[in-house]
Structure 1
Amino acid sequence: MIESAFTLICFILIGAGLIPPTLDFTLLKGRKIVSPYLVLLGLTLSGIILGYLSIEMFGQGTVPIYGRILQVGFFEIFLSLIATIGGILVVVASLSGVKDWPTSPSFYSLLALGVLGSYFLISMGDFVLLIGAWALVSIISYVLVGLKKDRASTEAAAKYALMGILASVLIIYGVAIIYGLIGSTDVGTISDLTGNGKFMLLLGSVFLVAAFGFKIGIVPFHGWLPDVYGKAHPTLIAFLTGVMTVAVVGLVVKVLFPLASALGNQWPILIGILSIITMTFGNVVALLQRNVQRMMAYSSVAHVGYILVGATAALSAGRALGLQGIALHLGSYAFAKVGIFVFLAYLLRKGSGLHLNDLKGLGRSMPIVSVAVGIILLNLIGIPPLLGFWSKFYLFTSVIAVSPWIALVAIINSGISVGYYIQPINYMFFKGGSEPPEEKLGDSESITIIAALVLIIVGGLTFPMIAPYLVT
Structure 2
Amino acid sequence: MTQVEIVLNAVSLLLGGVGLLLPTLDYTILKQKNKNVSPYATIATLVISLMLIGYLSNITMSGSRHIIYGGSFQVDFYGCFFAFIATSGAILISIASLGEASSWTTAPSYYSLILLAVLGVYYLVFVNDLVLLLTAWTLLAVVSYVFAGVKKDENSIEGAAKYALMGIAASALMIYAIAVVYGLAGITEISQPASYIPLAREYTPMLLAGVMLFTAAFGFKIGVVPFHGWLPDVYGGIHPNLVAFLAGVVKVAGIAILIRIIYPLAPLLGDRWLMLFALLAIATMTFGNIVALIQRNIQRMMAYSSIAHVGYILVALSAANSAAGGLFGLEGIALHVASYMLAKVGMFTLLAYMMRKGVSPYLDDMRGMGRFMPLNTAAMTILLLNLMGVPPLIGFWSKLYIFISVVDIAPWLTLIAILNSGVSIGYYAQIIRYAYFGDSRKDVKEDIHDVESFVVLVTAVLTVIVGLGPAILVAPILHP
Is the shorter-chain TM-score for this pair beyond 0.5, marking a shared fold? Answer: yes
What is the deviation of 1:430? 1.2
1:219 paired residue number: 225
Q: Which amino acid aligns with 2:103?
A: D
1:131 paired residue number: 134
Against the structure 1 CA distance between its residues 14 and 269, is the aligned structure 2 distance closer, same or farther, given a 3 Å change threshold? Answer: same
Q: State whether structure 2 residue 418 is matched by structure 1 residue 417.
A: no
Return 5+ residue gaps in structure 2 as ranges: none
1:291 paired residue number: 297
Q: 1: CA distance between counterparts of 2:262 and 2:14?
A: 31
Partners of 2:222 and 2:310 within 8 A in 1: yes
1:281 paired residue number: 287
Structural mapping, 1:23-422, within 5 Å: 23-33=25-35, 34-193=37-196, 194=199, 195-317=201-323, 318-422=325-429
What is the deviation of 1:159? 0.9
Partners of 2:270 and 2:321 within 8 A in 1: no
| Larger mean Cα displacement after TM superposition, 148-157 or 245-254 | 148-157
SS in 1 for 2:475: helix
Partners of 2:236 and 2:299 within 8 A in 1: yes
**How far does the alpha carbon of each residue in 1:345-404 deviate from its partner, in whole angstroms, 9 at most, with x for none?**
111111221100111121011110110011100000011111101111111111112211
| Larger mean Cα displacement after TM superposition, 183-192 or 39-48 | 183-192
What is the deviation of 1:419? 0.2
Q: Which amino acid aligns with 1:400?
A: V
What is the deviation of 1:61? 4.1
Which structure 1 residue ranges, 4+ long, deviate > 6 Å from structure 2? Answer: none
What is the deviation of 1:315? 4.1
SS in 1 for 2:319: helix
Q: 1: CA distance between counterparts of 2:304 and 2:64?
A: 35
Partners of 1:70 and 1:126 within 8 A in 2: yes
Number of matched residues?
472
Q: Which amino acid aligns with 2:117?
A: G
Return 5+ residue gaps in structure 1 as ranges: none
Q: 2: CA distance between counterparts of 1:319 and 1:59?
A: 19
Q: State whether structure 2 residue 21 is matched by structure 1 residue 15.
A: no
| Larger mean Cα displacement after TM superposition, 69-78 or 231-240 | 69-78
Q: 2: CA distance between counterparts of 1:211 and 1:61?
A: 29
What is the deviation of 1:4? 1.4
Q: 2: CA distance between counterparts of 1:190 and 1:56?
A: 24
SS in 2 for 1:314: coil
Against the structure 1 CA distance between its residues 261 and 68, is the aligned structure 2 distance closer, same or farther, given a 3 Å change threshold? Answer: farther
What is the deviation of 1:69? 1.6
SS in 1 for 2:151: coil
SS in 1 for 2:191: helix
**How far does the alpha carbon of each residue in 1:223-266 deviate from its partner, in whole angstroms, 9 at most, with x for none?**
11111110011100000111111101000111112332333331
**How far does the alpha carbon of each residue in 1:171-206 deviate from its partner, in whole angstroms, 9 at most, with x for none?**
111111211221111113343222333322222222
**How far does the alpha carbon of each residue in 1:198-219 deviate from its partner, in whole angstroms, 9 at most, with x for none?**
3222222221111111111100
Q: Which amino acid aligns with 1:31?
A: K
Partners of 1:87 and 1:243 within 8 A in 2: yes
Against the structure 1 CA distance between its residues 109 and 88, is the aligned structure 2 distance closer, same or farther, given a 3 Å change threshold? Answer: same
Q: 1: CA distance between counterparts of 2:78 and 2:326?
A: 13
Partners of 1:268 and 1:316 within 8 A in 2: no
**TM-score computed with the length of structure 2 as normaliser:** 0.96
Partners of 2:266 and 2:320 within 8 A in 1: no
**How far does the alpha carbon of each residue in 1:96-133 deviate from its partner, in whole angstroms, 9 at most, with x for none?**
10001111111111100101111121122110121011
Partners of 1:313 and 1:402 within 8 A in 2: yes
Q: 2: CA distance between counterparts of 1:465 and 1:120?
A: 25
**TM-score computed with the length of structure 1 as normaliser:** 0.97
Q: 1: CA distance between counterparts of 2:107 and 2:477?
A: 37
SS in 2 for 1:469: coil
CA-atom RMSD in angstroms: 1.3
